[in-house]
Each structure stands twice: as C-alpha cells, then as structure tokens.
Structure 1
Amino acid sequence: MISNLDKKKFNKVWQRILSSDRILLVSHINPDVDAISSLGVLIEVLKTYNKKYIAFAEKKGDDYHYLPNFEDVISDKDELLGRVGDEFNGGIKAKEDFLKYFDLVIIVDCGSIERTFISENIHIAANLMLETFIVEIDHHLPVKTYANIEIKTQLSSATELLYYFLKENKLEINRNMANCILAGILTDTGNFLYSSVNEKTLEISSEMMSLGAQFPKLLNSTWRNKNFLEMKIWGTALNNLKINKKYNIAFSVLSYEDLNLFRNISQDLSSDIFGDIVAFMSSLSEANVVLLLREEEPGKIKGSLRVGSSDKDIDVACLASYFGGGGHKKAAGFMVEGKIVKENNRFKIQ
C-alpha cells in the first residue's frame, strides 16, 4: 500500500517538522471535510510538539465546525497576511512574500498548486530563492511538481495517507486525530461506497473507532445534515439531468442564475453539496460516466466527473486533464471560464 520510498519521505518530513520553528499548513480553496480533517490531524501533531503554526484554507465554510481544530483554520488570505504580520513581523501586515517567515510549508489534499490559493506566493518564494521548505501530501494523481518533497499516493482520502505518516513515525493517535482521520475517509468514500475502499481502509476506520472516533456523530454531521434549501438544489440538479445515449454519459447543469436564486434565500450552503449530488448521479445504471457542471461564480464553471455504477475501466482524471483539472481515475474535477446559458431547453457554454 505504502512504498518504501514514501516511508522514507514520511521520515524526512517528520525530521523537517522537528527542525522547523514556524510552520504553515495549507489545504485547497473551498475545502471539504477531508481537507479540513487533514489540517486538523497536523495541527494536533504540531500542538503536541509546541510548534508555532498557522493553518489556512481559502473560503472555508462554517459547515465543519464539528471537526477538531476547525476554529484554528484561517479562511481568508487577507486575514492570513494579518496573522503572519501579528505573529512574525511586529504587528505589520505581511506582503506577498510572506512565505519568508516560515521554515516549512505543508500542503495537503490540493491536487494542484493552483488550488492552494497561494500559488503565486510559492512562485515568489522560488524566484527569491527563499529557504522555505515545501512539502506536498496528497492522494490525487500528480499534476505538477513544485514541492521539495512530494508524497502522492492514491488512497481513499488524504487523512488515510496521514494515518500512514503517523504510524511510520510512531506518533500516538489521540481522539481528535482519530475523529479527523475517520471523517476524511467517510466523506471521500461516500460512506465506504466507492471503489477506493479496500480491506485496509476498513481496518483503519475500525482502529479509529477503537481510539475514540465517534462514527454515529460523524455520520450525522456529514451525511444526515441536509437542509431544505440544499434539497431544493438537489431537485434542480435532478430536474436538469440528461443522458447522452451515444456515449452513455449522464450530465446535469446548474447555472449561475439557478444557484443565485438559492443564495438570495440563504447563504447557508454546504461546501460538499455538489460532491454529494454527483456521487448520487454516479449510481445511475444507464451511465458509464456522470458529469455535473455548475457556475458558482460569474464566468467560472466547475465540473465534477465520476465513473458510473457500471464501474468500467474509464479514467475520468484523464478527461479532466484536458480542461486543466485532475483527480482520481474514478473521480475528478476541473474548472473552465465561460457562462452557462439555456436555449431551447438545452444548455451551452459561452
């Protein structure tokens, strides 16, 4: 499952953590449960060893308040620059070269450098030849190489990968870590329904419960938590569902107008809602591949791809890569510029 090379990298990362005084933890923009949980695991480690750290995930929603260390994760880059200034620059707000204040940056569950929301800052650090050391830990297929140490192994979740990091370095897993690890596995496997689940995944989940992870509470918080507004969005997505019989592709579309209508009612939308919808679509027996397109922001269209219930040997990550995206063989995503418009009961991108 974990190669000897990855085990050596885990050891090197741990030595870097021990020798570093200031550490920045980063996950992807619009973080999901696995992203926040991965940060939560690392925060627990750094707290145990009294390390100075800042954790950041741009546009973190309030959906995951039940996760350990959720409140420690900064959700806005401007706030991040202010915090860096307060802690490391005498109260003066940091500038775009703020990575110079850190010995170590650990990036988890990002898929690509662009999803970190600090890609330009990483390039600035490289151009300035800063000594900041960058580590990437991810369970997605590699897209670009940019870190000093990269650990990219396809597993059920980023938290499962961090489980191996903890075990390899003989670090004790406390209750908070156990809850984070199980939460990441639960949500990234659709409650153990996806093909990424194997015997070891279930063993790890069982071990986390024996260490205090609260399976019923996590299940209620991650799955049995849909509100009325989210159900209405589900209804719109399913109403727009169509199948291309020629290619056996099922797809649905949510325009900016669709989503803005719901936002006018409430801003309280789960960050995982679109992942839940496309996961449900993947159970459609007539489709080999499913696609959900949505325009969450004007001019920016996100696409989520899943292999259908036929479970044929189809690589949707390869398809996503044509649009600059990536992910796993059976679950991937991308983003393109454009606007979704509906004409004559059909959708198109302008």
Structure 2
Amino acid sequence: MYEHVTKILYSVETVALFMHINPDADCVGSSLAMYKYLTNLGKKVDVFLEPTEEIRDNIYILPNIDVINSTSPSSHYDLGITLDCASPTRLGKKMLKILNTHCEITISFDHHKSYSKFTDILILDANSASTTQILYKFFKENDIDAIDLDVATCLYAGLITDSGNFSYNSTTVETFEVASELISYGVDHSLLARVLYLETSYNAFSLSLRVLSNAMFYYDKRLGVIMFTSEDFKQTETKLVDTDGIVNILVNIKEVILALSIVEISNNEFKVGLRSKGDFDSSLIAEHFGGGGHKNASGCKLYGPKDEVLNKLVSVSKHYLDKYDKH
C-alpha cells in the first residue's frame, strides 16, 4: 500500500518534519513518533514548529519533545514531511518557506477530509481517527522492528486525543486494534489518558469557570457558545493553549448538538472551534468560513467586531441545525 513512500524513505538520509500551528497531541505525537522511527532507521531528522507557536503543557509528557526546533534548519533536506496538517497556511509562513525551499521531496500524512494538497505525495485517510493511526499502519508495513516504546507512546497519544478518548464517530474497530497493539509495547495508557485528556492546570480551570459561567445557548439549547476575550486571559493568567478542551464540556450537555468556542486572538481576529455529537457535521460550518476538520471536531478563523462574528456564527449554525432536523 505504501511501497512508493517506503522506497523514498530508504533512499534519503536527511529528513525535516513539520508540525501545524497551534499543535495538538495528534500533531505533536505524529511528529515525535516519526522522528524516533526515522532515527531508529538511521536517518538524520529535524522537527520544526513555527517560532510563534506554543505547545500545551500536558503534551510535554511525550518522549523526545525537546527535539522540536523553530530556528535552525539545514540548507537542504532530502525529504520534508508534514504531519496532521490540512493546508499550507496551517504550517505558518516560516515553516512553509522551509518546506518549499529546503526540501527536495515533500510528503504529507493526514486524516482531514478538508485537506488541500500542497506536497508532492499525499498519504490521506479521512476515515482514520488520527494521523497517528495512519502512521502506525505505515510503520508496520515499512519496518515494524523500528517501532519502540517511544514511538508507540507518541502514536497512542494522538490516537486517544483525536478520537475523543475513543468516543467520536471516527473511532472504528481498527482504531481499537491499533490501540491494543500499541499498548502491547508497554505504553502507559492510563497515565496518558489522565494527563492528556483529563488533567488541567489551576489557571486553565479558572479560565473554564469564567467562560462557562457566561455560556450562551440558542435554539432550544441545541447550540451552545462560549467566548474567550483578552480580558479573560489577563484575569486568569492564561494563554490560547489553555482553551483546549473547554468546549467539550459544552457539547456534553444533553440538549446541545453543536458547541462553539470563539477565542479572541487579536483585535478583530477570532479562532473558532466547533464540536458536535452524533451525525451532525460541524465541518460544514467550518468550511463555510474557510476552515475545515472532521465531522465532530473542526475549526476556522473569522475577522471583524466580536458581536458581528458571533451573529454570523449563530446564523450559519441555525441554517445547518435546521437542515439537520429536517433530515
């Protein structure tokens, strides 16, 4: 299935790996798993993240995370690989330039159905719960002996987080089979589940209390919305990365079908996270605004005054909720 990529891997010596902006555990886990796997095969590997980006504190539990680089690329790489990145803009300007100018061949591994092709070769499976699920299958076919505990740990991290702790519709029989095989390498699955999926800092907890107390509900509570302002971050001493996961509390409310998280990044610039349950496809709304993602988890960016952004999102959400009800 992956023969053409396997041939390339065995022919190259230097590899650059690229993470997307605002990296989650699937992105970081994929990148670090690929790093250790290729290192085990004797390759020289660098891992890159856009310099302005931060990684959530709990993800630092993953092995080899200190190898992530943002400032010191070599002048040439035989191969560049992007991981869990659905579009070139998601790499960030500096990392996209390195990919395009420093890498002789480029490959993408991804599982987003809204993917925009920007590399020479694409390995895409939109039915996989995570990019790490795709990587595990690729690693097994390519050289299973290069999979060790570090590789398995990073792969499992992406699997558990992007599947919503195995609760999203993207979770399949294969997802559980991959999880079982990864655990057989000695992965501490209970520790990863607690730290990556459940654990939060006191400041992030305070932020969640603040925004959830001001949650807004529309259309018989089928739509729930929370907003994060610069004042919220200031008062709780938190950052953008601390918003991760809070919207899931909203979508877990019985009546809520769709939950929106609207985060003020800068003046008139907002990052929107969408979460849904069941068969409601949140990515349709994200794509309406130029974003994308998965059925139950997606995102986009909007620009304009806060009230205008909120009204646009609520209006478009109503359109898709009404269509869902009629279906």
Instruction: Give the TM-score of the pair, scaled to structure 1.
Output: 0.80
Please report how far the alpha carbon of residue 246 of structure 1 lies from its aligned counterpart in structure 2 after TM superposition: 6.3
Q: What is the CA deviation profile of residues 187-211 of structure 1, one whole-angstrom value per residue up to 9, with x for unaligned ones?
A: 1122222222122211211111111
In the alignment, what sits opposite 2:248? 279
Mapped pair 1:17 → 2:9 = yes
Q: Which amino acid aligns with 1:304?
A: G
Please report how far the alpha carbon of residue 296 of structure 1 lies from its aligned counterpart in structure 2 after TM superposition: 3.0
Match among 66, 70, 85 for residue 71 of structure 1:
66
- Higher helix fraction (1 or 2): 2
Please report how far the alpha carbon of residue 62 of structure 1 lies from its aligned counterpart in structure 2 after TM superposition: 5.8
Unaligned runs of 5+ in 1: 1-6, 89-97
Please report how far the alpha carbon of residue 53 of structure 1 lies from its aligned counterpart in structure 2 after TM superposition: 1.8
Please report how far the alpha carbon of residue 65 of structure 1 lies from its aligned counterpart in structure 2 after TM superposition: 2.1
Match among 34, 39, 61 for residue 26 of structure 2:
34
In the alignment, what sits opposite 1:44? 36
Q: Distance in 2 between matches of 1:149 and 1:120?
A: 16
In the alignment, what sits opposite 1:102? 77
Question: Structure 1 residues 222, 296: CA separation in 2 closer, same or farther (over 3 Å shift)?
Answer: same
Unaligned runs of 5+ in 2: 313-327
In the alignment, what sits opposite 1:53? 45
In the alignment, what sits opposite 1:142? 114
Question: Structure 1 residues 224, 124: CA separation in 2 closer, same or farther (over 3 Å shift)?
Answer: closer
Q: What is the CA deviation profile of residues 94-117 of structure 1, one whole-angstrom value per residue up to 9, with x for unaligned ones?
A: xxxx5xx12211000112111111
The 8 Å contact of residues 88 and 96 in structure 2, kept in 1 or not, is answered as no
The 8 Å contact of residues 320 and 333 in structure 1, kept in 2 or not, is answered as yes
- SS of the equivalent of 1:71 reads helix
Instruction: Give the TM-score of the pair, scaled to structure 2.
Output: 0.86
Cα root mean square deviation, aligned: 2.4
In the alignment, what sits opposite 1:302? 271
The 8 Å contact of residues 29 and 158 in structure 2, kept in 1 or not, is answered as yes
The 8 Å contact of residues 255 and 341 in structure 1, kept in 2 or not, is answered as no
Count residues with an aligned counterpart.
Answer: 306
Question: Structure 1 residues 152, 257: CA separation in 2 closer, same or farther (over 3 Å shift)?
Answer: same
Q: Distance in 2 between matches of 1:192 and 1:258?
A: 31
Q: After superposition, where does 1:217-296 map in structure 2 within 5 Å?
A: 217-245=191-219, 248-263=222-237, 271=241, 273-296=242-265
- SS of the equivalent of 1:60 reads coil
Please report how far the alpha carbon of residue 123 of structure 1 lies from its aligned counterpart in structure 2 after TM superposition: 8.7
Mapped pair 1:211 → 2:185 = yes
Q: What is the CA deviation profile of residues 116-165 of structure 1, one whole-angstrom value per residue up to 9, with x for unaligned ones?
A: 1147517964xxxx872111111111332211111221211111110111
- SS of the equivalent of 1:171 reads helix
Q: What is the CA deviation profile of residues 22-71 of structure 1, one whole-angstrom value per residue up to 9, with x for unaligned ones?
A: 21100111211111110111111221122122101222326122102211
Question: Structure 1 residues 347, 152: CA separation in 2 closer, same or farther (over 3 Å shift)?
Answer: closer
Q: Which amino acid aligns with 1:61?
A: I
Mapped pair 1:333 → 2:307 = no
Please report how far the alpha carbon of residue 334 of structure 1 lies from its aligned counterpart in structure 2 after TM superposition: 0.5
In the alignment, what sits opposite 1:166? 139
In the alignment, what sits opposite 1:3? none
Question: Structure 1 residues 224, 330: CA separation in 2 closer, same or farther (over 3 Å shift)?
Answer: closer
In the alignment, what sits opposite 1:113? 88
Question: Structure 1 residues 182, 270: CA separation in 2 closer, same or farther (over 3 Å shift)?
Answer: farther
